Amino acid sequence: MTENDFIPKAYTHLPEKGKVGWKAPSNIALVKYWGKKTNQIPANPSISFTLDACATQTQVTFTKKEDSKDFSFDLLFEGKPKEDFKPKIKTFLERIEPYLPFLKKYHFVIETSNSFPHSSGIASSASGMSALALCLLSVENKIQPMAPDFFNKKASFLARLGSGSACRSIEGDLVQWGKHEGIETSSELYGVKYPFDVNPIFKNYHDTILLVHKGQKQVSSSVGHNLMHDHPYAEKRFEQAHSNLDKLKPILGEGNLEAFMELVESEALTLHAMMMTSMPYFILMMPDTLEIINKLWRFRKETKVPICFTLDAGANVHVLYPESVKEKAIQFIQDELVAHCENGHYICDRIGTGAKQLFEE
Ligand code: DP6
């Protein structure tokens, strides 16, 4: 498919008004997307676990307006007007307008809330942009109904234009994005459900997110991605992501936890190594991030409990483990790791099944 396949045919009728709502989850990458080309095309393929508890709920009320010169919308975040989010939403609307040509014909009221702190290193842009993309696409679906499979592809395609990783937040439970030779259905334009067998051990996988630092990040992901241009190690890193995706196939199929933990932790540290070797260089990990990693490694060595970590573009630590060791892992987290979280805060999440429509009126 190409971008042009997402341009709809001319609308024959536009409803006067309506309201739609979606809940979309966050996701945590196992093989990381870091570096992009123009139009939100990833420099390398990535794969993620879709999450469950960390999510954004968005509802969009739309009312037909007289002139269609510009976009018109109000934005409410957790019930209150949020002016500083508006430029990002406007840029998003501009990018997706060719694919949703009704956007200037309506006034929208966008009401959104998160189940987790904004800019905490949890991909709030992923759940936020996917929830909004789904709402706007639901409006188009009322104007011109589309097949469910196409709906998911287009929702992912639109979400990607808001934030790259958001395209992996439409479906569950494992989603791959970016062209990769070994995955025939893969695309630069949207995320696809991972097409290969996955061992049941990964079916109920846990992700306990340790909130080491809840404030605004020092360097945004967009700036970080850009620093991969002219990065001395970029090409090798992009090759490595392809090779790690190939390696994951038997690991996920056989349920090889040892190899899984090694690959996932290496991906997390490579991501941060790219940040540290950018020019200008930067560090998003904090002393408590490293304390957690060291304690986790020691615990794993001593107890053989298969618990590992990954990192997003931030200081927080995602602790990953299978359902079978849930009690031991939670006990360890509470006894040893929570002390390193800001105000003792952490979120118990697990692998999820994707976005859900809340209503449509
Ligand atoms: C480290 O998707 O937030 O979480 O496309 O600029 O919005 P933009 O970037 P974003 O980058 C996420 C990077 C990451 C790794 C990943 O999720 O794959």
Q: What pLDDT does residue 211 have? A: 93
What is the residue-wise DSSP string for 100-166? -TTGGGEEEEEEEEESS-TTSSS-HHHHHHHHHHHHHHHHHHHHS---HHHHHHHHHHHHHHH-GGG
Lowest-pLDDT range of 118-122, 224-228, 281-285, 308-312: 118-122
Q: Answer for the pair 143, 11: CB distance below 8 angstroms, yes or no.
A: yes
What does each C-alpha distance from 201 to 60, 205, 252, 306 come to in angstroms?
A: 38, 7, 9, 11
Q: What is the pLDDT of residues 162-195, one digit of tens each?
A: 999 999 999 999 999 999 999 999 999 999 999 9
Question: Rounded to the nearest 5 degrees, what angle is found at the Cα of 26, between the Cα atoms of 22 and 29?
Answer: 145
DSSP character for 314?
A: S
- The label of the residue with tokens 């269609």 reads 68
Q: Answer for the pair 340, 291: CB distance below 8 angstroms, yes or no.
A: yes
What is the residue-wise DSSP string for 182-206? TBTT--SSSEEE--S---GGGTT-E
Task: List alpha helices for 213-286, DSSP H.
Answer: 221-226, 234-254, 257-276
The share of the chain scoring above pLDDT 90, in percent, equals 91
And the tokens for 125? 């842009």
Q: Please, which pLDDT band fits residue 213 given cuts at 50, 70 and 90?
A: confident
CB-based contacts of 334, cutoff 8 Å, min separation 6: none
User: Nearest to residue 109, comparing CAs of 59, 162, 56, 57?
Assistant: 59
Atom of ligand 1 nearest to the CA of 31: 18
User: In the predicted model, what is the mean pLDDT of residues 288-297?
Assistant: 98
User: Which residue has a Cα nearest atom 4 of ligand 1?
Assistant: 312
| Probe target for ligand 1 pocket from 91, 170, 225, with the most ligand atoms within 8 Å of CB | 225
Average pLDDT, the chain: 95
User: In the predicted model, what is the mean pLDDT of residues 30-56?
Assistant: 97
Query: How far is the first Cα of the chain from the last one, in angstroms, to the nearest whole number?
Result: 31
Q: Answer for the pair 313, 361: CB distance below 8 angstroms, yes or no.
A: no
Pocket of ligand 1 (CB under 6 A): 29, 32-34, 40, 46, 123, 125, 163-165, 221-222, 225, 271, 312-313
